[in-house]
Structure 1
Amino acid sequence: MGELRAYAALAGAQARSAATYRWSFVTEMLANMGGTVFDALAVLVLFRATPTVGGFSLREAVLIVGLSSAGFALADFSVGNVDRLKTYVRAGTLDAVLVRPLAALPQLLLMDIPLRKALRVVLGFTLLGGAVVINDVAWTPARVLLVVLAPIAAAVFFSSIFVSSASLAFWWVDSGEIGSAFTYGGRDFTAYPITVFGDTFRGLFAYALGFAFVAYQPALALLGRTDPLGLPPWSGFLSPLVAGVAAVLAAVVWRAGIRHYRSTGS
């Protein structure tokens, strides 16, 4: 209970800090909606030139981008600020975190709660809800469960990527661009049907790294479509399992990084 009160105090301090400059906070909240809006607009612009992309209609593509946007927005809101780890390592702030009798990762996440990104989460799930409505989904208990779990699994997956890529700072402080390639680059990759990408690129990101199970495979399962790339129909239901594996790997990388870290400059 003592730890919970300490975490609550950190979160409360961040909330009070954000509320101090209200108009700035509101402006930042509205500005942060742009990422999700542009994801949707990019798909709409793409389909103005052709009725299908990679064998998928506009409605089906909106479902894919909805799953991706909802999952990424939730992950970015929850753990996205962990990418500031490289700044904490360089400035020595992490040393102060490690001497407290609290777990390091929750402290880092609560040190800068991105409340300004809350509307982006709402917009992402609104987009997903609209996508489900406009598609003719033959609902079964399994699909109802999947539409609930898929965005949560996507959030866990993206959160794992955030933590794993941020952990590179324990060995390489200037690793920010590499991390962004897998976090924000992964978001862009999962917002489109993976059939539009080349075989090598698709094989690396979609299957070796698991990004196909963020939105593409769950969307196929919800729509009852056969995968053009040959995976069995139940593949879309593997997204929670893939997210769980990603979370375990992220925990291993984080643990190794914390053990490797000695102090600023190490």
Structure 2
Amino acid sequence: MVRTYFLLIWVSTRAAAAYPVSFALMTVLGFLLAGTDVAVILVIFANTTTLAGFSREEVLFLYGAANLAFTICDTFVSNLDRTSQHIKAGTLDTFLIRPVSAWLQLAAERFMPTRIGRILQAALVLGYAVTALGVGWERAWMIPVMVITGIVIYTALWTIAGAVQFVLTDAPEVVNSLTYGSNQLTQYPFSVYARDLVAGVTYALPLAFVNWQPGLYVLDRDDPFGTPEFMRFLGPAAALVLALLAALAWRQGVRHYRSTGS
């Protein structure tokens, strides 16, 4: 399946690379547009020294870790949010009759390699923050774990968003709030939010394990909400549970799909 997926996105990559100037400009533009979120953080810290008890570099670290995972998923699987368009157009049938997973085909459809600029921007912010904070190797091992955990969680969210569209075919804003809304939520320390909201994105929708809980371990910080320390290490388990639920939701959506007959 992995080989098939990369073959599909390679076709789109070759097509985009056929116009090198356009490819380069779009990549740079994506890099610059992604920098607007960082600009907002810098503006905030131009007027204060801490945000909910976190320094500028610590906030940039949390932002970089979450955004690196998110932009990777946005590049490689975000086309799942176009499921409803195919259902309404009657073109989903084409994906289902092919000897390749419909999930893979939808994820790889209209792949945009120029989004690599956004991934690079997030990686640079994360790298700068880790260097500026002087994170030691005894805690830095958690960084790749939290990024991979974030990728699994965001991929699961996009899969759930795609599955929801089998029922809510005319509510794209609902699925966008689940994916892009989640990214906006994780860009800042969770200590800026209300306790009830943080509890919800910890125990119900595990967004806290994208960067907040493991990030507290990397930064050697106590949780302002008083969660026990073992929570810092539950990210992979939370991601696995969400991924299994997402796979079940997608399977149920496909099984209950009714063709338009077109």
TM-score (norm 2): 0.92
CA displacement, residues 162-195 of structure 1 (integer Å, 9 cap, x when unaligned): 1111221111111210111121111111010111
Q: Tell me the amino acid that sits aligned with residue 235 of structure 1.
A: M
Q: Tell me the amino acid that sits aligned with residue 71 of structure 1.
A: A
- Within the candidate set 239, 245, 252, 1:243 is matched to 239
- Within the candidate set 20, 29, 44, 2:18 is matched to 20
> 1:261 maps to which residue?
257
Residue 72 of structure 1 and its aligned partner are, at CA, apart by: 0.6
Q: Tell me the amino acid that sits aligned with residue 170 of structure 2.
A: D
Tell whether 2:68 aligns with 1:70: yes
Which secondary structure does the structure 2 equivalent of 1:170 belong to?
A: coil
How do 1:1-266 and structure 2 match up within 5 A? 7=5, 9-140=7-138, 143-264=139-260
Task: Tell me the distance in 2 between the aligned counterparts of 1:5 and 1:261.
Answer: 27
Q: Which runs of 5+ in 2 are unaligned?
A: none
Q: Which runs of 5+ in 1 are unaligned?
A: none
C-alpha change, 1:28 and 1:86, in structure 2 (3 Å) is: farther
C-alpha change, 1:262 and 1:34, in structure 2 (3 Å) is: farther
Residue 110 of structure 1 and its aligned partner are, at CA, apart by: 2.1
C-alpha change, 1:6 and 1:224, in structure 2 (3 Å) is: closer
Q: Contact 1:221–1:235 at 8 Å: present in 2 too?
A: no
Q: Tell me the amino acid that sits aligned with residue 68 of structure 1.
A: A
Q: Tell me the amino acid that sits aligned with residue 127 of structure 2.
A: G
CA displacement, residues 49-84 of structure 1 (integer Å, 9 cap, x when unaligned): 221111111121111111111111111112112111
Which secondary structure does the structure 1 equivalent of 2:85 belong to?
A: helix
Q: Tell me the amino acid that sits aligned with residue 188 of structure 1.
A: Q
Q: Contact 1:170–1:257 at 8 Å: present in 2 too?
A: yes
Task: Tell me the distance in 2 between the aligned counterparts of 1:35 and 1:165.
Answer: 25
More moved, 26-35 vs 128-137: 26-35
C-alpha change, 1:251 and 1:35, in structure 2 (3 Å) is: farther
Residue 239 of structure 1 and its aligned partner are, at CA, apart by: 1.5
> Number of aligned pairs?
262
Task: Tell me the distance in 1 between the aligned counterparts of 2:77 and 2:13.
Answer: 16
Residue 262 of structure 1 and its aligned partner are, at CA, apart by: 1.8
C-alpha change, 1:261 and 1:127, in structure 2 (3 Å) is: same
Task: Tell me the distance in 2 between the aligned counterparts of 1:119 and 1:100.
Answer: 32
Residue 261 of structure 1 and its aligned partner are, at CA, apart by: 0.6
Task: Tell me the distance in 1 between the aligned counterparts of 2:53 and 2:2.
Answer: 49
Give aligned-pair identity as a percent: 35
Q: Tell me the amino acid that sits aligned with residue 137 of structure 1.
A: V
C-alpha change, 1:265 and 1:25, in structure 2 (3 Å) is: farther
